Structure 1
Amino acid sequence: MATAVETLGKLERRITISFPLTDVRTEVEKRLKVQARTAKAPGFRPGKVPLKMVAAQYGYQIESEVLNDKVGRAFNDAANENNLRVAGFPNIVPKEEAAEGQLAFDATFEVYPEVAIGDLTAVEIETVQADVSEAEIDKTIDILRKQRVHFHTKGEAGEHGDGGEAIAANGDRVTVDFVGSIDGVEFPGGKAEGYAFVLGEGRMLPEFEAATLGLKVGEAKTFPLSFPEDYHGKDVAGKTASFTITLQKLEWAHLPEVDAEFAKSLGVADGDLAKMREDIKVNLQREVAGRVKARNKEAVMDALIKVAELEVPKTLIAQDSERLAEMTRQDMAQRGMNVKDVPFPAELFAEKAERRVRLGLILSQLVGDNKLQATPEQVKAQIEDFAQSYEDPREVLKYYYSDRRRLGEIEALVLEENVVTYVLGLSKVTSKAVAFDELMGSNAQA
C-alpha cells in the first residue's frame, strides 16, 4: 500500500509505503523453515537443528532480507502505478508513526526531468579542420630520429665522426657529479654521482644547465642556484643554494640517417623512403581526423548544453561523482601509485559529473525523439575502423563482439557521432582551419 505522491521540489518526490507486520512475520517464518533444512549446529545432524536455534542464528539476516524485498517491491509497484521515472535510488527510512499492526516507510527520491531542447537551427557552432603537410611529415621523421639517437664520446674519432670540439653544448649528453649546500650545509637530494642528462631538454633548472654549458671533461664549476618558490622540494623551495658540478663524461648525439635502414626500422620491409613517408602521412591523417572529430564533438556538446533547459537530478550527480572518484583511484593504482590511504572526495568530481549527467539526459532526449540509435552496421564499421591500425583486424572484431559491455561502449560512441551529425546538419556551422601543432597539443574531451 502506498500514499499519494508528494511533491517536495522540482524533481524531489516522496511516498509512504506500508504493509501488515503479519506479512513480514509470515515470510520470515517461511524462510527460516527453508534455512532449517540445511542448517548445521554442534550436536545436531544437518537439517535437524531446532527452529529456535535457527532463528537465533539467522533470524536478523532473514528479517532484513524480507524487509528489503517487501519495501523494494512496494516502492517499485507505487512508482509504476504513478508512472514515475525514478532517477537513481530512493532514500527509504522507517516512519516513526504507523497504524497499529503496520510497518511504514517514507521513500524520498527524484524523478527524471523534462528536457526542453531549443531551436537547433538557430545554434551557431564553429568546427575545426586541419591538414597534414610535408612539413608535419618532416617533423615526425625528426622525432622518430631522436627516439633512435645514439651517443658517442665527444671529440673522439669514430665511424660517424667526432661530434666536434669536446666542450659541452646543447644536445650533448653529460654525466656529472654535483653537490649542493645552503649556508654551507648539504641538503637531502642535493648530491649525486654519475648523473646523466641531455643539455637543452629542460630536465634541469636553467642555472644548472647554463653552468654545465662550455665545460670539458674533468672541469668543475661552482655557481649559485635559486630554487623557485613552487619547487617540488619544499625544504629548498625559494632558497638559494651553492652548487659545484664536475663533468665526468661528455657524449654527442648521433641521429640516424634517413635511409633504407631507417625506413626498415619503422616497419617498411623494402626500405622504400617514399613508402615510409606515405605510411607516416596516413598515420598522421588518422590522428588528425580523430583530434578534429573530438574538437568538433566538444563544440556540439557545448552548444547542446547552452540550448537545452533541464533540472539535473542531484542523485545522479552524486552517483556519477562516486563513479569518477573510483575510476580515478583505479587508474592511479594501475599506474603503480600507492593510493591505499589517499582520500578521493566525490565532491571534487561533482562539476564533471554534473556535465556528464546533463549531456546524458540531453542526448537521450535527442536520440529518442529523432531515432538516432546506433545500427549494427554502424557499430561494425566503427570497430573495423579501429581495427585498421592493428596487425590482425579479425582479433579486434572478436575482442569487441565477445563482450557485451565492450560492444556497448562502441554503440555509445556511434550514438554520440549520430547526434553530432544530426546537430551539425541543422545548426549554423562555420569552419576554422587550425595549425597542426595547435590541434595535436589540444585535449578535447566531451
Structure 2
Amino acid sequence: MQVSVETTSNIERRMTIGVPAQEIDQAVQKRLQETARTVRLNGFRPGKVPLSVVKRRFGAGVRQEVVSEVMRDSYVKALEEKDVSPAGWPRFEPKVMEEGKDLEFVAIFEVLPEIELADLSKVEVEKPKAEVGEKDVDQMIDTLRRQQADMKSVKRKSKKKDVVTIDFKGYVDGEAFDGGSAEGHKLTLGSGQMIPGFEEGIIGGKAGEELEIEVTFPEDYQNEELAGKPAKFEITIHTVEEPILPELNQEFFEKFGVDAEDEEGFRADVKKNMERELRQAVSNKVKNDVVEGLVEGNDFEIPQALIDQEIDRLRQDAVQRFGGQMQMDPQQLPAELFTDQAKRRVKTGLLFQELIRQNDIKADADKVDEKIQEIASTYESPEEVIAHYNSNPQQKAQIESVVLEEAVVDHVLSQAKVKEKKMKYEEAVAAGQPQQG
C-alpha cells in the first residue's frame, strides 16, 4: 500500500492511497466464492452455481462492495502509518478503479487545529458578589405562597399582585402588529411580564371595563421593528382575582418537600436552597465570562466535521425538548438554526481540551466526591444517590467531566482580570442564567 499526505490548509489534508490490483482481485474472488456457496438461482442446486455464472450475475456489485471496504480499511491503516488523527470521517474520491489496475483514491479529511492560546491575563471576568438577605427569603416565600394560592373574584379596582383576565390588541402607527393581541390572557399585575407601562395602565381598572393605554416599546426590544416605537393598546378586563394565600403550616411545607415543624425551620430550608442557587448562578456567570473571553481572544479554524456533528446533537436535543409534540426527523430542522451555537460549542471544547493538555489539568477525586454529595443532598435519601453514582461508571464520568470543566475555569481565573460587582440576590441569579452554547 502506497500512502502520501498533502496539506491543503491549516486543518485539511488530502491523503492519496494506492492498493495493488492483486489485493483487490483476491478479495473479489474470495467474495464471489462465498456468494456461490449461498446464492440461489433457478436451474441450479444450492451451492452448485458455477463461479462463472456468479461472476457474470454479481461480479460488478461484489467488486463495488469490496472496493468500498478496501478503501475504508486502507484509510484506517494509512492513518496509523502516518500517525494522523482526523477530526471526522473523510470524503473519498476514487482516481483509478478499473479492474486489473491498482486501486488509487484520495481521502479528504480535517485534522484538529494547532491552537496557540492567547494570554489568559487578557480575559476579563465580572464576578457577582451577593448574599441572601431576610427580605430575599420573605420575597421567595411570598412567591411560593402565591403559587399555591386560591383565587377569589373581586369587584373592586385592581391592584398589584391581582390576577386579571384580559383581551388586548396593540397598534403601532395605527396598524395592528403581529403578536400584539390575545384573548383570555391571565396577567399578574406588577409581575413585569409585559412591556413597561402596560401593567401599570391596567392597575385601578375593574372587571367589565374597557381601557385604552399608550406605552413605548423599549429601545432594546427583541423585535427590532417595534423597538423604541410608541404603541396603543385596547384592553378589555374580564375578571379581577385576588390571591388568597395559604397559611404557613406543615401541610404547606410538605408541598415543597420540606420536613419542617414551624415557619422558622421552613425559612431556614428556603434560605439554604436560595444560597445553593446563588452559588450556582455566580459559578455560571463566571464560566460564561471565561468562555466568552477565550472564544473572543483565540482565533483558529474549526473543523467543519465537528461543527456538523454538533449541529446533529443540537437537532436531537431540540426534538427531545418538544417530546411527543414534535414527531419529526431531526435532520429536517435547518442546520442554519444551530450553526452559530454549534461553532461556539466546538470552539469552547477545543480551547478547554488545549488548556487541559498544556497544563495537565485533572478532575480532583475529592472534588468529584463533593459534587456527588452536593447533588445527593437535594434528595430524600442521599446515601442511595451517592451509591448510585459510585456504582455507575458512566454517571460518575459525567460528574468528573463537570469537575474537570470547573478546574479549567479555575485555572483561567488564576490569571484573568477578575472584578467583583455587588449585586442584589435577584440580579446575581439573573446574571447567572445559562447562555446558549
The two structures have a TM-score, normalised by structure 1, of 0.75
**Offset of 1:436 from its aligned partner?**
1.5
Counterpart Cα distance in 1 of 2:199 and 2:348: 49
Q: Aligned pair 1:433/2:419, yes or no? A: no
Distance in 1 separating the partners of 2:14 and 2:121: 39
What are the within-5 Å matches in structure 2 for residues 171-186 of structure 1?
171-173=161-163
CA deviation digits over 1:261-313, x for unaligned, max 9? 544544444532111111011101111111111111222223333554x6333
Question: What is the CA-CA distance between 1:179 and the residue it aligns to?
Answer: 12
CA distance in 1, matches of 2:126, 2:235: 55
SS in 1 for 2:373: helix
Matched with 2:30 is 30
Q: CA deviation at 1:346?
A: 1.9
> Which runs of 5 or more residues in structure 2 are unaligned?
171-179, 224-228
- Shift in Å, 1:104: 1.1
Residue 183 of structure 1 corresponds to which residue in structure 2?
none
- The answer on whether the counterparts of 1:86 and 1:112 sit within 8 Å (CA) in structure 2 is yes
Write the distance in 1 (CA, Å) between the matches of 2:359 and 2:269: 40
CA shift at 1:142, angstroms? 0.9
Letter in 2 for 1:329: A
Partner of residue 353 from structure 2, selected from 361, 364, 372: 364
Correspondence for 1:110: 110
In the alignment, what sits opposite 1:163?
none
- Give the number of aligned pairs: 423
Overall identity of the aligned pairs, in %: 32
CA positional deviation for 1:361 = 2.0
1:396 aligns with 2:372: no
User: Given the superposition, is the C-alpha separation of residues 13 and 298 from structure 1 closer, same or farther in structure 2, using an over 3 Å criterion?
Assistant: same
Question: How far apart are residue 33 of structure 1 and its match?
Answer: 3.6
Alignment match, 2:84: 84
Matched with 1:235 is none
Map Cα deviations across residues 208-232 of structure 1 (whole Å, 9 max, x no partner). Answer: 996795446xx56597999x9x999
Contact 1:367 1:419 in 2 (8 A): yes
Q: Is the 8 A contact 1:329 1:344 kept in 2?
A: no
Change in 2 beyond 3 A, CA 1:324/1:177: closer
Are residues 220 and 276 of structure 1, via their aligned partners in 2, closer, same or farther at CA, if it must alter by over 3 Å? closer
CA offsets per residue over residues 359-386 of structure 1, 9 Å max, x none? 2222222212222122444433322221
Letter in 1 for 2:69: D
**Is 2:258 the counterpart of 1:273?**
no
Q: 1:269 to 1:77 in 2, by over 3 A?
A: closer
Partner of 1:20: 20
Q: State the distance in 1 between where 2:316 and 2:3 align.
A: 39
**Aligned residues of 2:158 and 2:202 also touching (Cα < 8 A):** no
Residue-by-residue CA offset, 1:99-139 (whole Å, 9 max, x unaligned): 96111111112222222124435655443332111121111
More deviation in 140-149 or 364-373? 364-373
Tell me the secondary structure at the aligned position of residue 117 of structure 1.
Answer: coil
- Seen in structure 2, the aligned counterparts of structure 1 residues 39 and 134 have a Cα distance that, compared at 3 Å, is farther
The AA in structure 1 aligned to 2:368 is V
Q: For residues 237-266 of structure 1, what are the alpha-carbon distances to aligned partners after superposition, in whole Å with 9 as ceiling and x for unaligned?
A: x9x99989585x654321124456544544
**Residue of structure 2 equivalent to 1:132:** 132
Q: What residue in structure 1 maps to residue 293 of structure 2? A: 303
Deviations 1:323-378 (A, max 9, x none): 24423432343172455599422233222222222222222222122221224444
Taking the TM superposition and a 5 Å limit, the aligned residue runs for 1:300-339 are: 300-308=290-298, 311-334=300-323, 336-337=325-326, 339=328
Report what 1:352 is aligned to: 341
* 1:147 Cα offset (Å): 0.5
* CA contact 1:208–1:225 (8 Å) conserved in 2: no
Listed as ranges, the gaps of 5+ residues in structure 1 are 156-165, 181-188, 233-237
CA contact (8 A) 1:21 1:101 kept: yes
Match of 2:93 in 1: 93
- CA distance change for structure 1 residues 55 and 382 in 2, over 3 Å: closer, same or farther? farther
> How far, CA to CA, are the matches of 1:84 and 1:63 in structure 2?
29
The letter of the residue matching 1:369 is Q
Partner of 2:274: 284
SS in 1 for 2:17: strand
SS across alignment from 2:333 = coil
CA-based RMSD of the aligned residues comes to 4.5
1:8 equivalent in structure 2 = 8
Segment drifting more, 320-329 vs 430-439: 320-329
Is the alpha carbon distance of 1:288 and 1:32 closer, same or farther for their aligned partners in structure 2, counting shifts above 3 Å? farther
CA distance in 2, matches of 1:11, 1:178: 56
Tell me what 2:147 maps to: 147
Matched to 1:424, the amino acid is L
Check whether the contact 1:317–1:357 (CA below 8 A) recurs between aligned residues.
yes
Range with greater deviation from structure 2 (434-443 or 263-272):
263-272
**Residue 380 of structure 1 corresponds to which residue in structure 2?**
369
SS of the residue 1:426 aligns to: coil
Tell me whether 373-382 or 57-66 shows the greater mean CA deviation: 57-66
1:94 CA drift (Å) = 0.8
Secondary structure at 2:19 match in 1: strand
The structure-2 alpha-carbon separation of the partners of 1:266 and 1:191, relative to structure 1 and needing over 3 Å to count, comes to closer
- Partner SS, residue 86 of structure 1: coil
* Mapped partners of 1:195, 1:426: distance in 2: 51
Query: Cα deviations across residues 66-116 of structure 1 (Å, max 9, x unaligned)?
Result: 323321222222222222222212211111588961111111122222221
- 1:397-416 to 2 correspondences below 5 Å: 397=386, 399-401=388-390, 404-416=393-405
Matching residue of 1:294: 284
